[in-house]
Every structure is written in structure tokens, then in C-alpha cells.
Amino acid sequence: NNEVETVEADVLIIGAGGAGMRAAISVNDAGLKPVMVTKSLLGKAHTVMAEGGIACALGNVDPQDNWMVHYGDIIEEGVYISNWKMAEILGKEAPDRVLELERYGALFDRTPDGRIMQRAFGAHTYRRLAHIGDRTGLELIKTLEDQVLHRNIPFYDEMYIVDLIRKDNKIIGAYGIKMNTGQTFIFRAKSVVIATGGSGRVYKVTSNSWESTGDGIGMAYRAGVILRDMEMIQFHPTGMVYPPGVKGLLVTEGVRGEGGILLNSKGERYMLKYSPQKKELDARDVVARANYKEIMEGRGTEHGGVYLDISQKGADFIKHKLPAMYQQFLEFAGVDITKEKMEVAPTVHYMMGGIEVDAETERTNLENLFAAGEVASGLHGANRLGGNSLADILVFGKRAGDAAVTYARSSKFEDIPEEEIEKIRAYVMHFFKEDGKNPYDLIDRLTTCMSENVGIMRDEEHLQKAIKIIKDLKEEFKEVGTKGGVRYNHGLLGCLELGNMLVSCEAIATCASMRKESRGAHARSDFPKKDPAWKANIITYMDEQGNMNFEVKPAAEMPEEYKAYVKPEVYE
């Protein structure tokens, strides 16, 4: 189908996860026309997989909680390189967004007196996570989807955005392929919100959905957008290890939040040794490294994991509080968690890094391009607290939508030059060749390389090895290809996604090699200590020659009065 369809949107929103949907609602309610696109189906975004809850200092269970305590927790767990202003905004606004979600119809678990229930989660000072059993993401997405449908917000699903179209310091549109028809779409927009989620699929063992290939990072980078903190990848302590088909699948922190304990093959509750105070509920990086250490030192299980046990809580409690986990283990592993221990190991889970944004407006370095959700960076610094991402997508999704509206109101549509469209079309069409290399073979090698060399414990030798493999794969990428037509072409999708994955991988591996210290999720065996010289953020951008460039910037200092909310940073 060669016809090109042009669609106009006051605000184009790329991505229909929680961040994209919340932004679309803002645009619609301001009286402007949003258009939302997703490469999967509406209601299927990665957000749907979220389990444990939404962090918000409502203080329903622990009345001492408030935004200042939440703020302190974010800064400390982000190991003092978070964007402090974003942490303040999240702390203050997350409760409003959760109550709004409740007004939209979300059915939260309840306290005995009928308020929103909040559960404990790793490294949160108080019980803070509003939740719906262990299916919080599903309820969040379904609630927002209802609002989107109810408002008749225009959306295009199975629409793959290949690239943004830039003119001067603005994005004037985007090029999309409707994958189920093969048709080309040109979206003209006054402002654009990127809400495409993370890049967790660049690793072999990951909890992330197939969508998380970092397309938004790739397209933004090619358009001249600045990225930050790309080396900061969160490893979740507990992913499934067995059977092989589900390796990496998440075992929610809610299991530990509800009382689950970790044991090694000798039956020792080793978190008492690694973290006597917080035990299983210490920050994710601490628990993930403890699990890794137990496994590497030979105290792991048959399938290379450790044990997680919640059976002591009894069947009724487990089936009520953790219904999805109960089913997941029964169906996939034949394990009844009301009676038996789970086998778990660290899995890639979240990208703290991504597109650099202004804290209040989520604006990038381009004047009408905004980014929100996992694709953006800043809030989580070197480590994300569980539950803060669902809060992030609601708080900053709304703010990005609002700011995109303000820009669009005083802006007009621009004509999109034909040669810009042709350039992207030529990029897409060059993948059609007779003897192209299979993109999925390269993806397999790339993700294996990342898991083996840029994993939970890093060192210079392995990072250099990864950088070399990524450079070689970039060369080989020129030879990948597919056959047939554009419609339903999985090979083409693989080629396009691989191009984006290579951007994330090069940035992650190079920044990881630059950061010669251990901080938060970034742990190096050759630089095991935190270094005050590295209280800094690394930014990544493309230079005029098309090469990847990096700069190190000292982390911005928070205002003096906010220091009272945070424990002072300690260096050994």
C-alpha cells in the first residue's frame, strides 16, 4: 500500500503506557486534539505488567509519612545524583494522582476503615504503595484506557514510529508504519510527547515486555536530543529462573513486602548478614547483589537461583494478596507457592537513564519535544525505588501533557518537506534485500553480550569487550535485511528495533566504562567504592559527525532547606 496518510495532532503522543495515556488525557481536557500511537494494542503496554503498587505518601497506614520523607527516600536511594526538583514534585504530587486514579474508577485494596491500602516496599521508610493485589499495572492501564475511550481520544495501534522529523530546534512531525496494513502515516504536530518506555529488552535476561526496545531513546538521539544516566540499569533481585522459557520473568517485590524471606541452598536467611536492619526490604541494588553473591559463591539452587519463601503466610493470605504470583508459579513452573519455595535470581528490570528533561515541564533540549515515563531520566538517579515508576508515569505524564498544551497553543503546524519523508522511507526500504542478515540473530548476540558483560557486576575488561562487540554489531547492522512487504513484517520490525537497541547499548556500555566507581545500581568490581568525584551525571548526545559524545556534569545541588529531609551522603 503506497498511499501516505497524513494526520494532524495538536499534540502527538508516542506511546500508550501509563505516561502516554495520562498525557493524552491532559491534552484532551485542555480542549486540544491529542493523537496517541502505540506499537502494540491499546491496553497492552508494558505498564500492564506492573505488580506491586504506586508509591505515594498518603499516610493512610503510617500517618507519619509525607512528601518530605518520600523525597528523602528518593534522593538517598538515587545515591544523590537524582534531579532533586523531580523528586520534590513526585513526593508532592503522587498522592493527588493516585486519588485522581481512584476518581477515575480504580479499585484499590482497602484499609479496614475503607481508605486506600498501602504496603511496605524495599527502602521506603513507611508503608507507601497503593496497590490492587499484585495487579496494580493492569488496573492502572484499564482505568486510564476507560478514560481515553470515554473521551474519544484518537489513537492508532500497531503503529510503529520510525523517526521524528526535525526542523531547526523543533520536531514538526513523525513517520509511522501501520504494521497491520503496511501503510505509511505522517503525523504533523505542534508538540510531541515521547512516552515509549525503557530499553530493558537490550538484555537477554529481563523482566521487560517485548515493546521495551528503546525506540524512543533511538529516535530522540537521532533527532539531537540529550540523554542522561544511561549506565544506570536496575537489576531486580527476583526474577524467575526456571523453566528456561520464563527466565527473567518478574517475581514482584510485593512477595517480600508481604513477608517473603530469601534463603540459600543451605537454608540460611542470608539477608540478615548483608542488611541486618532492612533485611529482604533493603534497596533493590543491595538485595540483587546479595542474591548474585550467594549464587556466584556456590550457595545457589539447582537452577542457579536462590529461594524465596512465603509459604509460612498460609494459602488464604497468599491467594488474596499475591494471586498473580500464585498462578504464575503454578502454571509456568508447577510450583505451589502456598506450600513450596520459589527459585529466583536477579533480572534486568528498569532503566533509570533516558532522555534528559526539565523537571517541571518534561521538556527536552528541543523546544516542543517532551518526554515522560521510563523513557525519561532524572528522577531516579542511580537507583529507582519500587513503586516510584507508576507514580512517575502519572505525575510526569500529566505534566508533560500540560506543558505540551502550553506550547501547542502558541504554535502552528509546519509543512513537512518531502525530502525529509523520503529520507526516512529510504531508511525503511533499504532493509528489503535478498541476502540480508537475520536481525534476530544480531539481537540475540547483542542481548547476550549485554547480559554477560554489562551486568549486575561490571569491570573494565568486560565493558571494553562489550563496547567492541557493539561496534562490530553496528557494522553488521548495515547488512541486516528482510524480504516480502511492509505489512505484518516481523523481520522489518526486528531491523528497526535493532537500530534503536544499538543506540541504547553503546550508551549504556560506554557510560558504564566511564563511571569509575560503584554507585547505586552501577557496581564495579574494579572500583568497588563510591567516589565523591563521581557525584555527577553523564550525558550522551550525537555530534555533528553523527558520533556518540559524552560529557560529565556535577549533580545539581538541592536547596539548603531541603537537606534536612535527607541523610548526608557518606563516603568510606
Q: How far is CA 482 from CA 250, 435, 443, in A?
A: 33, 8, 14
Judged by CB under 6 A, the chain residues 442 through 471 that form the site for ligand FAD are none
> Cis bond leading into 276, ω under 30°?
no
Contacting residue, 9, 25, 26, 40, with ligand FAD by CB under 6 A: 40
Contact 202, 501 (CB under 8 A): yes
Contacting residue, 12, 32, 39, 187, with ligand FAD by CB under 6 A: 39
93 sits near ligand FAD (criterion: CB under 6 A) = no
Label the pairing between strands 170-178 and 155-156: unpaired
Which residue in 494, 496, 517, 498 sits closest to 506, CA to CA? Answer: 498
Rounded Cα distance, 334 and 533, in Å: 50
In 13-83, where does DSSP find H-type helix? 18-29, 67-77
Rounded Cα distance, 240 and 329, in Å: 9
Least Å distance between CB 51 and ligand FAD? 5
Region for residue 194 given its phi and psi (left: phi exceeds 0; alpha: psi -120 to 50; beta: otherwise): beta
37 sits near ligand FAD (criterion: CB under 6 A) = yes
160 sits near ligand FAD (criterion: CB under 6 A) = yes
374 sits near ligand FAD (criterion: CB under 6 A) = yes
**HSE toward the beta carbon, residue 378, CA cutoff 13 A:** 27
Contacting residue, 26, 38, 234, 518, with ligand FAD by CB under 6 A: 38
Give me the active site residues, please: 236, 256
Q: Which is nearer to ligand FAD, 467 or 503 (CB)?
A: 503
Rounded Cα distance, 452 and 462, in Å: 8
Least Å distance between CB 200 and ligand FAD? 7
Contacting residue, 364, 389, 504, 510, with ligand FAD by CB under 6 A: 389
Least Å distance between CB 545 and ligand FAD? 26
Rounded Cα distance, 357 and 410, in Å: 21
Which residues are registered as beta bridge partners of 13?
36, 193
Label the pairing between strands 306-309 and 342-351: antiparallel
Which residue in 104, 140, 135 sits closest to 19, CA to CA? Answer: 140
Which residue in 223, 221, 196, 222 sits closest to 208, CA to CA? Answer: 196
Rounded Cα distance, 68 and 64, in Å: 11
Contact 200, 208 (CB under 8 A): yes
Rounded Cα distance, 343 and 306, in Å: 6
Q: How far is CA 422 from CA 232, 426, 431, 479, in A?
A: 36, 6, 15, 21
43 sits near ligand FAD (criterion: CB under 6 A) = no
Q: Which is nearer to ligand FAD, 106 or 390 (CB)?
A: 390
Task: Using the rule CB under 6 A, give the single segment among 46-54, 146-154, 459-467, 539-547 that binds ligand FAD.
Answer: 46-54
Contacting residue, 26, 47, 368, 540, with ligand FAD by CB under 6 A: 47
395 sits near ligand FAD (criterion: CB under 6 A) = no
Least Å distance between CB 251 and ligand FAD? 9
Backbone angles phi, psi at 397, to 5 degrees: -60, -45
In 388-523, where does DSSP find H-type helix? 388-409, 418-429, 439-453, 460-477, 490-514
Judged by CB under 6 A, the chain residues 209 through 248 that form the site for ligand FAD are 211-212, 215-216
Contacting residue, 10, 12, 32, 52, with ligand FAD by CB under 6 A: 52
Contacting residue, 147, 301, 328, 388, with ligand FAD by CB under 6 A: 388
Contacts of 416 (CB under 8 A, 6+ apart): 165, 172, 173, 186, 188
Q: Which is nearer to ligand FAD, 215 or 517 (CB)?
A: 215
Q: Which is nearer to ligand FAD, 77 or 215 (CB)?
A: 215
> Maximum distance among all alpha carbons in the chain?
68
Return the beta strands (E) in 283-391 as ranges.
Answer: 306-309, 342-351, 354-356, 369-371, 376-377
Number of residues near ligand FAD (by CB under 6 A): 44
Q: Which is nearer to ligand FAD, 359 or 469 (CB)?
A: 359
In the chain, the amino acid numbered 556 is A
Contacting residue, 9, 10, 12, 51, with ligand FAD by CB under 6 A: 51
Task: Using the rule CB under 6 A, give the single segment among 4-12, 44-52, 62-70, 547-555 that binds ligand FAD.
Answer: 44-52
Least Å distance between CB 36 and ligand FAD? 9
264 sits near ligand FAD (criterion: CB under 6 A) = no
Contacting residue, 26, 82, 136, 453, with ligand FAD by CB under 6 A: 136
280 sits near ligand FAD (criterion: CB under 6 A) = no
Task: Using the rule CB under 6 A, give the single segment among 220-228, 286-294, 383-391, 402-410 that binds ligand FAD.
Answer: 383-391
Q: Which is nearer to ligand FAD, 38 or 301 (CB)?
A: 38
Continuous segment of H or E residues that includes residue 8: strand 4-14
Binding map of ligand FAD across residues 168-207, x = CB under 6 A, - = no contact: ---------------------------xxx---------x
Q: Which is nearer to ligand FAD, 211 or 231 (CB)?
A: 211
Backbone angles phi, psi at 3, to 5 degrees: -70, 135
49 sits near ligand FAD (criterion: CB under 6 A) = yes
In the chain, the amino acid numbered 212 is S
Least Å distance between CB 379 and ligand FAD? 11
Contacting residue, 74, 120, 193, 393, with ligand FAD by CB under 6 A: 393
Task: Using the rule CB under 6 A, give the single segment among 41-49, 66-74, 503-511, 548-556 that binds ligand FAD.
Answer: 41-49
Contacting residue, 25, 79, 171, 250, with ligand FAD by CB under 6 A: 250
- Reduced to 3 states, what is the DSSP secondary structure of residue 177? strand
Q: Which is nearer to ligand FAD, 177 or 318 (CB)?
A: 177
Binding map of ligand FAD across residues 321-350, x = CB under 6 A, - = no contact: -----------------------------x
Q: Which is nearer to ligand FAD, 384 or 530 (CB)?
A: 384
Residues engaged in binding ligand FAD (CB under 6 A):
14-20, 37-40, 45-47, 49-53, 136-137, 159-161, 195-197, 207-208, 211-212, 215-216, 250, 350, 373-375, 386-390, 393
